[in-house]
Amino acid sequence: MKEIKILGTGCPKCKTLYENAQAAVKTAGVEAHVEKVEKIMDIIAYGAMTTPAIVVDGQIKSAGKTLSPEQIVQLIK
């Protein structure tokens, strides 16, 4: 099972990235847990300098962009 975390403090772009990640999981047909990380200290612990960011299995895959569901599918396959 993949673990996907969306790092962001709750801005509209962060919410959109979270929704896009959920859609990508459904589209890709993979088992994954999608979680929001909104506490600033937790975000800093990942080393993210800009938000929103997406973390897949512990590694930052994108930061500062709101990826489309199609782009996220490529990250999680």
Distances (CA, A) of 64 to 10, 31, 39, 77: 14, 25, 17, 21
Residues 4, 6, 7, 14: which is the catalytic one? 14
Residue entry with tokens 């929001």: 36
Number of other CB atoms surrounding residue 40 within 10 Å: 11
Q: Is 51 a catalytic residue?
A: no
Reduced to 3 states (helix: H, G, I; strand: E, B; else coil), residue 43 is helix
Out of 3, 9, 10, 11, pick the active-site residue.
11
Residue 11 is a catalytic residue: yes
Residues designated catalytic: 11, 14
